Amino acid sequence: TGFCPVIVEKPFGKNGKEAKELSESLTKHLSESETFRIDHYLAKTLVLNLLTLRFANRELGHLFHGHHIANVRITFKEAIGVQGRAGYFDGYGIIRDIMQNHLMQVLTLVAMEAPASLGAEDVRDEKVKVLKQIRPIDPKECVIGQYDGYQDDPDIKKLNAQKGYASRCPTFAVAVMYLDNERWSGVPFIMKAGKAMEVQ
């Protein structure tokens, strides 16, 4: 009885099926208004300022259009490798760990139309519209890789020994996406993420 808010942060299952099962198990005990799914990456100052950048300055807002932008690049670079996180990271990889959630959230904030209000549900609704407008990603416009030295990490060596083969976990990935809407038609959104990069 009463209001019992619960905060859920990723990883929330390893795939859509697991995430759906976890969500269904939560709904047995909590209402949707009590369940807060968060992404800590959205608390970064630059990300927090995206809505202000987009919608507080009308002139700047007009420039966020395919008529004025050749491409949009959303990049995550870390100088460190997987030290101390090898067990977790090797099971997820850079796509699941960074791209499908953190960077996809940034993409929706950059590409969305102005929400009816800054209320959480109105912002969410506009972000969902963006996600629905993303074309299926062409594998020919994707690259994955693994940094030199990944296989030499002591924890990765242990995991490889347990599995009986060398890890194929990507630590670097690039994907080019397109949105099917008037504002962004024909503009490539280039999403890039990598660990152990020379420059952050």
User: Annotated active-site positions, please?
Assistant: 102
Q: Residue 58 corresponds to which tokens in the numbers above?
A: 């009308």
Contacts of 174 (CB under 8 A, 6+ apart): 142, 143, 144, 190, 191, 192
Q: At what angle do helices 154-163 and 86-94 cross, to 10 degrees?
A: 70
- For 158, residues 6+ apart whose C-beta sits below 8 A from its C-beta are none
Residue 169 in contact with residue 90, Cβ under 8 Å? yes
Bond before 11 cis per omega within 30 degrees: yes
Q: DSSP assignment of 30-94, as one string?
A: S-GGGEEEE-GGGGSHHHHTHHHHHHTSHHHHHHSSTTT-S-EEEEEE-SS-STTTHHHHHHHHH
